[in-house]
Amino acid sequence: MAGPESVDLPRAVAGADEKRARLLEGDHEVMAEALRLLRSEYVPRAWYIFEGRTCPDVLLIAKDAIVVVEGKRTEPSATTDASWLPRRHQIWRHIDAAWELRGRRAVYGFFIVEGDPEDEGWSVPKHWRSVASHALSPDVLGTSFPHRSGEDSQAIASALLGVTTWRQVCERFSLDWRSLPDKVPAPSPQATP
């Protein structure tokens, strides 16, 4: 029985696939529609949803700024691929999500990593300086923001501050960097009333 609310599922799926393809091709009209839908409703699956929620290691939301931190303690490098999009850097995924929440706030993001053992963890290892530099390359920015205009991508790119070390952060906040754990225990689920 067909009524005004019935949906032709094969046609709906084909339409969603077509819109997704147009989005990935950079169709500005479809990008605008996708961004409008992302900003106005939350659904876990739709033609314009490519990723699940993002979880930076630190998210600070203040009156004038949003800060996202990707902390690396035991990982040798940054995550540079999303399941749906090779070369979508994890830091860009975090900053991109913060960009949507910003309102009039500034957005900043950075890595905190293990420092060079040759100077007791003070300096950022060459590898991590390279990771930050590579994240800002036109190629990576282009592949990390297929849903954004070039102007938006450049504005978002200005949010990446770079890389610092755990030793430097601990020194700044008078913490003993040698006592940092390799892993933080997962929070225990809280009982709901």
Q: Over 39-98, what HEC string results?
A: HHCCCCCCCCCCCCCCCCCEEEECCCEEEEEEECCCCCCCCCECCCCECCCHHHHHHHHH
Residue 83 CA from chain centroid, whole number: 13
Amino acid at 117: P
Contact 117, 150 (CB under 8 A): no
- Give me the pLDDT at residue 7, please: 38
How far, in Å, CA of 31 to CA of 64, rounded? Answer: 28
> Which residue, among 138, 145, 157, has the nearest Cα to 88 in the 3D structure?
145
- Domain residue limits, the chain: 9-49, 53-179
- 12: tokens are 């709906």
Strand-pair category, 106-113 with 65-71: parallel
Stretches where the chain sits below pLDDT 70 are 1-16, 42, 44, 49-54, 76-87, 183-193
Residue 21 makes CB contacts below 8 A (sequence gap 6+) with none
- Give me the pLDDT at residue 143, please: 80
- Give me the pLDDT at residue 80, please: 57
- Give me the pLDDT at residue 9, please: 34
- Give me the pLDDT at residue 124, please: 92
Contact 93, 82 (CB under 8 A): yes
- 110: tokens are 């950075």
3-state secondary structure of 114: coil
- Give me the pLDDT at residue 170, please: 93
- 94: tokens are 């975090």
> What are the b/e assignments for 155-190, b being 16+ CB within 10 Å?
ebbebbeebbbbbbebeeeeeebeeeeeeeeeeeee
pLDDT tens-digit map of 65-105: 999 999 887 776 665 555 555 567 788 888 988 998 899 99
- Give me the pLDDT at residue 90, please: 82
- Give me the pLDDT at residue 63, please: 95
